[in-house]
């Protein structure tokens, strides 16, 4: 009897120990969860706060300096008009996207849908794309100057600047499209093949439409980099503050225009106003991309 009682007592003690251990684990898990939640909230608050401070600073400094003279058709030293720079920005943005988006999307389609898994060439392409994403923009500018401006004989022009921007944003579009295609479930492909569709029809009618939101996110990131680029365009597109007659003419973008006004030190107030227009341009281009993405997805 004593042995039985002792064994039952040991069992009860073990159960109490396990119960206390599980309760401690639950308390530790709740504490860790609370700490992580607090860190996430703090990070989100700081990020949002910095964004709001930047936007508020630009608007407060820039809106009072907006005037009709800044939107004159021609730039002069008196009005320092930003209208030519805004038109050049829009032209270079659309020209760069027209070239870079098809190249990036089709390259990603080949890497994901057609290339064999484990292919060394595919791995080399991915490593190259990731490396190009981290190269400073001034390096792209020097490369564009040597290749497009000097070797091709295009001179300082919108065309040279656009092709330089294409090289800059191509890795972003390629990687985002590749990840978007990988995120499409294989069941979509298998269902299409089961219904008798071929590889090409499956890719362009099933897989690609499902990946459009991810692809558009890469396009939005590319638009932001195009509109905000300065160093690469100074060496390729030039700093002429006029709308060129053709793509082989030199012209500055809004970012370059803002940099030029600030560096001169004579029109710093107008540079703040240019920053406001630049911010509005980026928001409008991103909104346009979102609208297009919704329409394409709805179809």
Tell whether the model's pLDDT for residue 4 goes beyond 80: no
The predicted-structure confidence for 249-261, as pLDDT tens digits, reads as follows: 999 999 999 888 8
Give the per-residue pLDDT at 235. 92
Of 95-104, 116-125, 165-174, where does mean pLDDT reach its minimum?
Answer: 116-125
The predicted-structure confidence for 174-217, as pLDDT tens digits, reads as follows: 989 998 998 888 888 888 888 888 888 888 888 888 888 888 88
Tell whether the model's pLDDT for residue 229 goes beyond 80: yes
d(CA 178, CA 147): 28
Give mean pLDDT, residues 290-295. 74
Work out the pLDDT band at 297, boundaries 50, 70, 90. low
Of 87-91, 95-99, 265-269, where does mean pLDDT reach its minimum?
Answer: 265-269
Q: What is the mean pLDDT of the chain?
A: 84
Tell whether the model's pLDDT for residue 16 goes beyond 80: no
**Which residues have a Cβ under 8 Å from the Cβ of 229 and sit 6 or more positions away?**
137, 165, 168, 253, 255
Work out the pLDDT band at 2, boundaries 50, 70, 90. very low
Q: How far is CA 28 from the centre of its chain?
A: 39
What CATH homologous superfamily does 69-298 map to?
MetI-like (1.10.3720.10)
* 73 compared with 293, residue with greater pLDDT: 73
Q: Where are the domains of the chain?
A: 2-65, 69-298
The predicted-structure confidence for 46-57, as pLDDT tens digits, reads as follows: 999 998 998 899
Give the per-residue pLDDT at 260. 87
Burial of 75 (0-12, 13-18, 19+ CB in 10 A): buried
* 245 compared with 5, residue with greater pLDDT: 245
| DSSP secondary structure letters along the chain | -HHHHHHHHHHHHHHHHHHHHHHHHHHHHHHHHHHHHHHHHHHHHHHHHHHHHHHHHHHHHHGGG--GGGG-SS--TTT---HHHHHHHHHHHHHHHHHHHHHHHHHHHIIIIISPTT-HHHHHHHHHHHHHHTS-HHHHHHHHIIIIIIIS---S-HHHHHHHHHHHHHHHHHHHHHHHHHTS-HHHHHHHHHTT--HHHHIIIIIHHHTHHHHHHHHHHHHHHHHH--HHHHTTT----S--SSTTS----HHHHHHHHHHHSS-HHHHHHHHHHHHHHHHHHHHHHHHHHHHHHH-
Tell whether the model's pLDDT for residue 18 goes beyond 80: no
Give the per-residue pLDDT at 96. 93
Tell whether the model's pLDDT for residue 38 goes beyond 60: yes
Q: Which stretch, 24-38, 39-53, 259-273, has highest mean pLDDT?
A: 39-53
Work out the pLDDT band at 43, boundaries 50, 70, 90. very high
Q: Around Cβ 196, how many Cβ atoms within 10 Å?
A: 7
Give mean pLDDT, residues 150-164. 93
| Cα four-point dihedral sign 259, 265, 270, 272 | positive
Tell whether the model's pLDDT for residue 149 goes beyond 90: yes
Tell whether the model's pLDDT for residue 158 goes beyond 90: yes
Work out the pLDDT band at 139, boundaries 50, 70, 90. very high
Token readout for 149 is 């401006």
Tell whether the model's pLDDT for residue 148 goes beyond 80: yes
Asked whether the whole model's pTM tops 0.85, one would answer no
Tell whether the model's pLDDT for residue 138 goes beyond 80: yes
């Amino acid at each position: 009897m004593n042995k039985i009682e002792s064994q039952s007592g040991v069992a009860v003690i073990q159960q109490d120990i396990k119960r206390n251990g599980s309760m401690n684990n639950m308390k530790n898990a709740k504490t860790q969860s609370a700490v992580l939640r607090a860190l996430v909230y703090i990070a989100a608050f700081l990020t949002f706060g910095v964004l709001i401070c930047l936007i508020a600073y630009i608007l407060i400094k820039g809106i009072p300096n907006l005037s009709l003279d800044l939107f004159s058709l021609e730039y002069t030293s008196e009005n320092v008009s930003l209208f030519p720079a805004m038109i050049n920005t829009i032209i270079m943005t659309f020209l760069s996207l027209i070239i870079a988006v098809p190249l990036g999307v089709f390259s990603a389609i080949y890497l994901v849908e057609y290339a064999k898994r484990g292919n060394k060439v595919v791995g080399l392409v991915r490593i190259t794309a990731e490396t190009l994403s981290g190269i400073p923009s001034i390096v792209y500018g020097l490369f564009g100057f040597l290749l497009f401006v000097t070797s091709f004989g295009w001179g300082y022009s919108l065309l040279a600047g656009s092709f330089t921007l294409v090289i800059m944003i191509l890795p972003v579009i390629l990687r985002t499209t590749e990840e978007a295609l990988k995120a499409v479930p294989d069941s979509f492909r298998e269902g299409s093949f089961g219904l008798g569709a071929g590889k090409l029809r499956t890719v362009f009618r099933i897989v690609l439409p499902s990946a459009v939101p991810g692809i558009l996110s890469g396009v939005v990131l590319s638009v932001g980099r195009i509109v905000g680029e300065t160093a690469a365009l100074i060496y390729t597109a030039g700093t002429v503050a006029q709308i060129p007659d053709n793509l082989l003419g030199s012209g500055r973008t809004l970012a370059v225009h803002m940099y030029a006004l600030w560096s001169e030190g004579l029109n710093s107030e107008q540079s703040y106003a240019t920053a406001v227009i630049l911010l509005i341009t980026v928001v409008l281009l991103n909104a346009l991309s979102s609208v297009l993405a919704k329409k394409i997805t709805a179809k």
